[in-house]
């Protein structure tokens, strides 16, 4: 029987609508090519429309149902047999961020021409595919489904990078593909070990069985494998060699999506695994050490970088290292610090790559750029100040939380990490301010100003940052709630298996 399909069903506060933000972009991605053959203007509109629609649906669901976490079993097969979507505050937050950021960095309209039209349709389709996959990553509550969405996101990002037709982008994509595919093998081995130990792939059931089955050296091995595997997209230390070449070779908008969104979703998977299945100090220790190596190598390489996109790429590695350090602290404080840093980085790095649309060149060549486009210069200074952590800006509070967490942990390792973070911050300040000074130099022929659309996204994100600065207390409270929810393993299990309430106690 065909259900009564009406547009109003999209707005109904029904958990079933949770699949729409994944399904709609996926559907649109595959409709894109045929549609572009028939009606180009319609195809150009399809992407933004679908993104707006899925953002609206997600927001609507969050407002109406988001008060308590809930789960949706797909096809009516109850977990653990079926596959499920799990929606809590953090999942909603990221599921909403995905279409919004994709919309902000939506590739511009290609001008006419047969080849260009195909190229544009392909790019739109791949972006929508990336959106569908990353939204799935935020919502999925099943380990293997996470793997599938992760691979889908990977393939979409390979395509987006390789679409820029230069040879160097192809080489960069190939090397990215190799690292990523080997990471997938490691994820598969990790999944195999988890399945061997627990006999299930549902995250909730894994969480339920983890204390007896995964809190041992075998579980540690599984976590390490999955950490490295998912870490490829999260720019984790040993598997981030692809980052500078890809971000330098890809269009700046694609780099903004990869550095901003995709890396955060990969981090989110790792954190879910850490909280639900592997909450032991050894696991956090691995993350702490890898995060530390990430921040040190990233910031030092960024200091040495001579061109703007690669500088952003290396600094992104450093920032993600700090995010891993924050999450490795564990507990609500660690999760709060990690979430704050992740959102902060999502906003700032995307915006900086938005500025890099025009500032592709070397740092030398940026001399006087702030004079030709004052707004871009001002935005760069704002973002730089927040990245370094100058007091009233959100970056300061996020960094402070990490430092407090490290100081509270105590011990030689934590204090060393604390000192090294301060050192890395000094390095970060040195290279960011070097650029800021160069931007305001007086030169006869500065670089061309930004287009209105390029600057629009960055300016909007700058406003978000300022708004967060003014409303620090409410933002911190909301994030605190989200961190508490993220940290609540029992609640996750009970959301998926209401019956286990009785069994457990």
**Chain residues that interact with other proteins, rule: CB under 8 A:** 115, 144, 147-148, 151, 154-155, 158-159, 162, 165-168, 170-174, 177-178, 181-182, 184-185, 188-189, 191-192, 195-196, 201, 245, 248-249, 306-310, 360-365
Q: How far is the CB of 373 from other proteins (least distance, A)?
A: 19
Task: Show the CA angle centred on residue 134, arms to residues 380 and 38, nearest 5°.
Answer: 95
4 or 165: CB nearest other proteins: 165
CB 431 within 8 A of CB 300: no
Residue 120's contacts (CB-CB under 8 Å, 6 or more residues apart) are: 36, 44, 107, 109, 110
Q: How far is the CB of 152 from other proteins (least distance, A)?
A: 8
Task: Show the CA angle centred on residue 18, arms to residues 12 and 10, nearest 5°.
Answer: 30
Q: How far is the CB of 201 from other proteins (least distance, A)?
A: 7
Total H helices, total E strands in the chain? 22, 2
145 or 487: CB nearest other proteins: 145
Residue corresponding to tokens 């983890």: 210
155 or 420: CB nearest other proteins: 155
Please tell me whether residue 80 adopts helix, strand or coil conformation.
coil
185 or 501: CB nearest other proteins: 185
Task: Show the CA angle centred on residue 462, arms to residues 372 and 299, nearest 5°.
Answer: 85
Residue 86's contacts (CB-CB under 8 Å, 6 or more residues apart) are: 69, 70, 71, 72, 139, 140, 141, 203, 204, 492, 495, 496
**Could you count the other beta carbons within 10 Å of the beta carbon of residue 468?**
21
201 or 317: CB nearest other proteins: 201
Q: How far is the CB of 492 from other proteins (least distance, A)?
A: 22
Q: How far is the CB of 363 from other proteins (least distance, A)?
A: 8
**Could you count the other beta carbons within 10 Å of the beta carbon of residue 321?**
26
Closest to 485 (Cα-Cα) out of 67, 55, 204:
67
Residue corresponding to tokens 């039209």: 117
Please tell me whether residue 464 adopts helix, strand or coil conformation.
helix
Give helix 394-409 / helix 411-439 axis angle, nearest 10°: 160
183 or 389: CB nearest other proteins: 183
- Compute φ and ψ for 140, nearest 5 degrees: -70, 140
101 or 242: CB nearest other proteins: 242
41 or 75: CB nearest other proteins: 75
| Eight-class DSSP state of 488 | -
Q: How far is the CB of 237 from other proteins (least distance, A)?
A: 17
Q: How far is the CB of 147 from other proteins (least distance, A)?
A: 8
CB 116 within 8 A of CB 64: no
Residue corresponding to tokens 């069903």: 9
**Structure-block tokens of residue 386:** 């927040």
45 or 192: CB nearest other proteins: 192
195 or 440: CB nearest other proteins: 195
Q: How far is the CB of 312 from other proteins (least distance, A)?
A: 12
Q: How far is the CB of 262 from other proteins (least distance, A)?
A: 16
Q: How far is the CB of 33 from other proteins (least distance, A)?
A: 17
- Compute φ and ψ for 282, nearest 5 degrees: -65, -40
Residue corresponding to tokens 């390490």: 224
């Amino acid at each position: 029987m065909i259900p009564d399909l009406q547009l109003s069903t999209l707005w109904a506060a029904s958990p079933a609508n949770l699949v729409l933000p994944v399904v709609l972009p996926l559907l649109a991605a595959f409709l894109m090519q045929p549609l572009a053959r028939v009606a180009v203007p319609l195809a150009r509109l399809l992407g933004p429309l679908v993104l707006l629609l899925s953002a609206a649906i997600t927001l609507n669901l969050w407002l109406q149902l988001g008060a308590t976490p809930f789960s949706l079993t797909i096809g009516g097969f109850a977990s653990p047999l079926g596959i499920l979507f799990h929606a809590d505050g953090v999942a909603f937050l990221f599921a909403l961020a995905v279409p919004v950021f994709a919309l902000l960095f939506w590739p511009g309209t290609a001008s006419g021409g047969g080849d260009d039209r195909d190229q544009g349709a392909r790019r739109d389709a791949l972006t929508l595919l990336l959106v569908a996959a990353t939204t799935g990553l935020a919502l999925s509550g099943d380990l293997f489904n996470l793997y599938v969405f992760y691979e889908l996101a990977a393939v979409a990002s390979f395509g987006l990078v390789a679409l820029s037709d230069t040879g160097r982008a192809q080489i960069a994509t190939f090397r990215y593909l190799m690292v990523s595919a080997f990471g997938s093998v490691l994820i598969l081995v990790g999944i195999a070990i988890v399945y061997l130990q627990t006999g299930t792939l549902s995250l909730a059931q894994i969480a339920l069985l983890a204390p007896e089955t995964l809190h041992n050296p075998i579980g540690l091995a599984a976590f390490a494998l999955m950490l490295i595997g998912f870490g490829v997209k999260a720019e984790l230390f040993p598997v981030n060699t692809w980052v500078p070449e890809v971000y330098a070779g890809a269009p700046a908008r694609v780099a903004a999506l990869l550095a901003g969104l995709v890396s955060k979703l990969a981090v989110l998977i790792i954190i879910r695994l850490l909280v639900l299945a592997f909450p032991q100090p050894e696991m956090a220790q691995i993350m702490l050490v890898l995060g530390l190596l990430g921040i040190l190598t990233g910031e030092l390489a960024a200091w040495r970088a001579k061109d703007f996109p690669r500088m952003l790429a290396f600094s992104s590695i450093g920032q993600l290292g700090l995010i891993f350090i924050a999450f490795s602290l564990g507990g609500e404080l660690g999760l709060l610090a990690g979430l704050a840093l992740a959102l902060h980085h999502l906003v700032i790095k995307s915006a900086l790559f938005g500025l890099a649309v025009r500032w592709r060149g070397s740092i030398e060549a940026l001399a006087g750029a702030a004079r030709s486009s004052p707004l871009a210069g001002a935005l760069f200074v704002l973002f730089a100040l927040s990245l370094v952590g100058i007091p009233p800006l959100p970056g300061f509070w996020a960094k402070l939380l990490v430092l407090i967490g490290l100081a509270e942990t105590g011990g030689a390792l934590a204090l060393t990490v604390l000192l090294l973070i301060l050192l890395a911050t000094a390095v970060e300040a040195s290279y960011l301010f070097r650029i800021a000074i160069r931007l305001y130099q007086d030169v006869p022929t500065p670089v061309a100003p930004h287009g209105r659309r390029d600057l629009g996204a960055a300016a909007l994100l700058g406003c978000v940052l300022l708004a967060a600065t003014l409303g620090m207390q409410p933002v911190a409270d909301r994030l605190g709630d989200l961190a508490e929810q993220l940290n609540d393993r029992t609640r996750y299990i009970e959301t998926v298996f209401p019956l286990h309430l009785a069994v457990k106690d």
